[in-house]
Every structure is written in structure tokens, then in C-alpha cells.
Structure 1
Amino acid sequence: MTTFDDREKGFESKFALDQEQEFKAMARRNKLLGLWAAEKMGLSPDSAEDYAKAVVRADFEQPGDEDVFRKVAGDFKGSGLTVSEGEIRSKMDELASVARDQIRAGE
């Protein structure tokens, strides 16, 4: 193998690792978002865990964050809570940062 081939493999490995970490971070973010939403809706601890798992599963419906946003916003509306789009999106951004830090720290 040449040095170029070694470098190419190194870049490919780093890209794969970065993608894996981002996937884990988004799944963690969605769980944290689900727990936050469950607390706002007054769910019991067991129900909160189940709800957080449902939020994580919602992310697999389509690419991007809109499926997660729609689930949480719809559930807030269904439970009679008025939570603005801005508050939900802000919390998603905040928790994405928290989740990335946790994944990098190996938590």
C-alpha cells in the first residue's frame, strides 16, 4: 500500500466514526427530549421512559428532525399543553449539544 492509500483509509475510518458518534448523539438527544417532554406532560417515571423510547423511534420515520419535532409538538397539543415551536426547537438544539458532549465523554 502507498502512503496515499493509508491516508485514504484513515479518512474513511474517521468519517465512519464521526457518523456513528453523530447517530448516537441524535438518539441520545431524542431520548433526553422525550424525558423533558414527559416531565412537562406530568408522566410517571415508567411512562416517561416509554415515551422517551417512542420519541427515539419517531426519528426513524424520515430523514431529519421534523418527525421528532412533529411527535413532541403533537403530543404536547394532545395533552393540552401550549409549548411554542421555538421552545421545542431550542430544547432540541440544547439537548443535541448535551448529547454530543456526553458521547464524546464516553457516557
Structure 2
Amino acid sequence: MTTFDEREQGFEKKFALDQEQEFKAHARRNKALGQWAAGLMGLSNVEEYAKAVVKSDFELPGDEDVLRKVFEDLKGAGVSITEGEVRMKMAELLAQARESVKSGN
């Protein structure tokens, strides 16, 4: 095996690891977002709602499906919040989740 082949395999492994970590970070972010939203709505079964938010991420590529679900649920529950505030919370929680995944927690 040449040095080039070894480098290529190294890059492929790093890419796979990065993708796995990003997937885990999004799942953690979605769970935390669901817990946050459930608290705002006063739901008693927080974990069930958080799981529903995680599942909603598989509907469409990107974050729009998660945003739509949480924002519409919050508005339906009478919570006064803007879409921008939900987006900001998503960004904040994603940064925390990435850090958590990176540190191995």
C-alpha cells in the first residue's frame, strides 16, 4: 500500500467519524429542543415529546422539519414565541450538543 492510499484511507475514516459525530449532535440537539419545548408547553411527558421531536428529523433533509414541528406545537399550545427564537434555541443547543459529542459525553 502506498503512502497515498494510506492517506486516502485516513481521510475516509475521518470523514466517516465526522459524519457520525454530526448525526449524534443533531439527535442530541433535537432531544434537548424537545425537552425545552415540552417545558414551555407544560407537558407532563417530556421524554415522549422529546422522542417525537427526534423522530420528526427524519421527515425531510435539514432542520426545517424539526423547526416546523416545534414551532407549530408551541404556537398551538399558546406559547408566545417567534420562529426566530426557536431557530436561535436550535443553534444554541446544537453548539452544546457538538461540544458534548466531541468531548465524549
Taking structure 2 as the reference length, the TM-score comes to 0.98
- Segments of 5+ residues of structure 1 without an aligned counterpart are none
Q: CA deviation at 1:42?
A: 0.7
Q: Identity rate of aligned residues, in percent?
A: 67
Matches within 5 A, 1:1-107: 1-44=1-44, 47-107=45-105
Matched residue type, 2:94: A
Taking structure 1 as the reference length, the TM-score comes to 0.96
Deviations 1:33-91 (A, max 9, x none): 000000000112xx110000000000000100000000001101111112101110000
**Alignment partners' CA distance in 1, 2:23 and 2:47:** 20
**Alignment partners' CA distance in 2, 1:28 and 1:43:** 20
**Alignment partners' CA distance in 1, 2:15 and 2:104:** 18
Moved over 4 A (4+): none
- Aligned pair count reads 105
- Segments of 5+ residues of structure 2 without an aligned counterpart are none
